[in-house]
Amino acid sequence: MNESLVHSYQKNKKRYPSTESESKEMEMGSNNKKIFSSKKEDLFHVIHKVPAGDGPYVRAKHAQLVQKDPEAAIVLFWKAINAGDRVDSALKDMAVVMKQLDRSEEAIEAIKSFRGLCSKQSQESLDNVLIDLYKKCGKVEEQIEMLKRKLRLIYQGEAFNGKPTKTARSHGKKFQVSVRQETSRLLGNLAWAYMQKTNFMAAEVVYQKAQMIDPDANKACNLGLCLIKRTRYNEARSVLEDVLYGRIPGCEDGRTRKRAEELLLELESKQPPPDLSDLLGLNLEDEFVNGLEEMVRVWAPSRSKRLPIFEEISSFRDRIAC
């Protein structure tokens, strides 16, 4: 055989298989490369939390999470909404990015204008985003109304789409939240909003309800602050000592314990003046208060009697009526 032909044959022997077994080996090698490439791509999506695909929503998430370009992400989220591509997620994610860029007002208008395009299941999460946006913008009244609406849905049995629990996320981790826990959380947020309006009487009432349903140390500190503001120092001391002595869930958190200590120091520095409570400051509708009473009756039956604070409120309402 011609030497040049032999050399050519030897050179291309691996490229062009001469037997069936060699052909199968090459095919397996090709498949393995495809599998490796696929796994590598899947790993990329897992690491960067970017969904698979090539639509405008996927490109928006890529711009947000991989390229770290929020402005480009917002443009692509708009394209996804207009194209009907994962509108639920696109609208919510876009609002979150806008909030990060201090464009909260724009985010609020976007949700109000386009939430009608979203599914019923997504409305609750959009409400949560709106509450955060109202808080960011200092729109306390709107925040209060939204929180009250969510609480009404709970005691009307319409929250969580009728399910007893829902899946929530925090710092990238998923966990289950019960209706009871969500109610206490919302009440805590509502009470905090009342505190921003210096309506400490309303805040105290709502914090008391939240603690009866699902107590925790952070809300106890806020309740203690309310009682200090209302010059009810003995009650405030009792609540804050419960945190320091570990009588409430969440007391093991160092920051919460430190805050309780700081509030007790503030308490010690005050002289007890006459108890002139902001009795006319309460701004809770009868229907809303009755709804809270019903939730407490169901979830805390051993403490179902009306709180003294509610008796106090009722008596002052009667006086005002006279």
Domains and CATH numbers, the chain: 47-137 (1.25.40)
What does the pLDDT read at residue 308?
A: 44
Residue 72 has a pLDDT of: 97
Provide Rg for the chain, Cα atoms: 30
Which among 173, 203, 270 is positioned nearest to 231, based on CA atoms?
270
Helix (H) or strand (E) segment spanning residue 130: helix 123-137
Q: Give phi and psi for 168, each to the nearest 5.
A: -120, 165
Which residues touch 144 (CB under 8 Å, ≥6 apart)?
190, 193, 194, 197
256 and 250 in contact (C-beta within 8 Å)?
Answer: yes
pLDDT at site 155: 82
pLDDT score for 287: 67
**Which distant-in-sequence residues (6+ apart) come within 8 Å of 81 by Cβ?**
87, 90, 91, 94, 114, 117
| Full pLDDT tens readout for the chain, 322 residues | 455 544 544 544 444 455 555 555 555 555 554 444 444 444 444 444 567 678 999 999 999 999 999 999 999 999 999 999 999 999 999 999 999 999 999 999 999 999 999 999 899 899 999 999 999 999 999 999 999 999 998 888 887 777 878 887 766 678 888 989 999 999 999 999 999 999 999 999 999 999 999 999 999 999 999 999 999 999 999 999 999 999 999 999 999 999 999 999 999 888 555 554 554 556 666 667 677 777 677 776 555 444 444 444 444 344 434 4
Rounded CA-CA distance 154/282 in Å is 23
> Please, are residues 179 and 262 in contact by the beta-carbon 8 Å criterion?
no
d(CA 274, CA 252): 35
Q: What is the DSSP letter of 307?
A: P
Handedness of CA 131, 108, 202, 322 (dihedral sign): negative
Predicted TM-score (pTM) above 0.95: no
What contacts 306, CB < 8 A, 6 or more positions away? 293
In 3D, which of 124, 107, 109 has the Cα closest to residue 70? 107
**Dihedral (Cα; 271, 272, 275, 277), 10-degree rounding:** 50
User: What pLDDT was estimated at residue 271?
Assistant: 57
What sign results for the dihedral spanned by CA atoms 267, 271, 275, 280? negative
Q: Which of 217, 208, 147, 144 is nearest to 182 (CA)?
A: 147
